[in-house]
Amino acid sequence: MTWNAYYRGDGTSRPDTRLPAPPPWRTFPNRPVASVFRPPEGLVEAVNAALALRRPLLITGTPGSGKSTVVEQVAAELALGPVLRWHITSRATLADALYRYDALGRIHAHRLQQEKARAGADTGDGDDIAAFIGLGPLGTALLPSERPRALLVDEIDKSDLDLPGDLLEVLERGEFRIPELLREGQDVAELRMWDSADKYRVERGHVQCTEFPFIVMTSNGEQELPAPFLRRCVRYTMPKPTAALIREVVRGHLQLEMTENGPEAELVNEFVRRVAAGESVAVDQLLGTLHLLHGADAQSAAKVRGRGERERLIALLMKDLSGA
């Protein structure tokens, strides 16, 4: 393979090597994606229904189909502020999403205070439990506000079987309580908000939203969700991609003018065929491949010569996600 403008595998130091510019979606801080996302047919209606009904929007689709991008675009268009994110794993719990109590940290701080007291040093303001409680992403989204916050609950189908059921009461009532504050008899507590240095004044351990947050939950369809949970959601399934839709996505992300013929068009058509056949390949894999083959760096792209080299690069980047 002759595409070796950077790493060459010969152990020779080349401190003056200039790396190529990154793809647009891999620049940091990340650029907003709202301007390049193209919602498929029916998604706009589903979003507006969820907004009007104050219900979560559950979007099911294959990895890389743009499910999590929807909330970014809605938040940008409606000025809902930074998107709060709750990434689901099999260990995720509702309690952690609402607030997090660092009991061990409080015990450690209490011991340090005792040691300072024995040494005759100033121990500060005493044992303030609020210093060890922080609101989670869902808890922050449920704070009273003039406009709803936007919350992404990513991959809800990867959760423990009980989590969707645990969410039901919170989704219906839009409120929760912090028992640790109630047990301590702390009527007023300044609690840190999620992913922020800001604090919110919580009274009597009770949080009640005034505007129900705009919640997007994504699912890859790996687990069947309970009917009572589904009843409380507006549901939308991302359609299988078409060649025309993917060409629009490529134009938006790469500013690459796509035609219906040529090697790039054939790569798009092959991607659509693989998805239709049930393979697990994502749009960002295709974008990365086209970026390297066409626009990563004029010098390096020119080095990808010959059908064999091109096919090796495509095979490297377009592997089925269901395998290792």
pLDDT given for residue 215 in this prediction: 98
Helix (H) or strand (E) holding 43: helix 43-53
Integer Cα distance of 211 and 80 in angstroms: 11
Tens-place pLDDT, residues 143-163 = 999 999 999 999 999 999 899
The per-residue pLDDT for 126 is 56
Closest alpha carbon to 199 in 292, 99, 285: 99
Q: Are strands 206-208 and 175-177 parallel, antiparallel or unpaired?
A: antiparallel
Maximum distance among all Cα pairs of the chain, rounded to whole angstroms: 81
pLDDT given for residue 193 in this prediction? 96
- Please give the Cα distance from 276 to 318 (Å, whole number): 15
What angle (nearest 5°) sits at the alpha carbon of residue 91, between those of residues 88 and 96?
A: 75
Using CA atoms, how far residue 201 sits from 128, 167, 204, in Å, is 14, 24, 10
Per-10-residue mean pLDDT of the chain, 324 residues long, equals 70 88 83 78 97 97 85 95 95 95 85 76 68 96 96 95 92 94 90 93 96 96 90 94 88 83 90 91 91 65 63 92 73
pLDDT for the residue numbered 285: 92
Helix (H) or strand (E) holding 231: helix 227-231
Q: What's residue 150's pLDDT?
A: 98
Cis bond before residue 29 (omega within 30° of 0): yes
Q: 3-state SS of 168-191? A: HHHHHHCEEECHHHHHHCCCEEEE
**pLDDT tens sequence across 77-112:** 999 999 999 999 999 999 999 999 988 888 888 788
> Nearest-5° angle of CA 69, CA 55, CA 206?
105
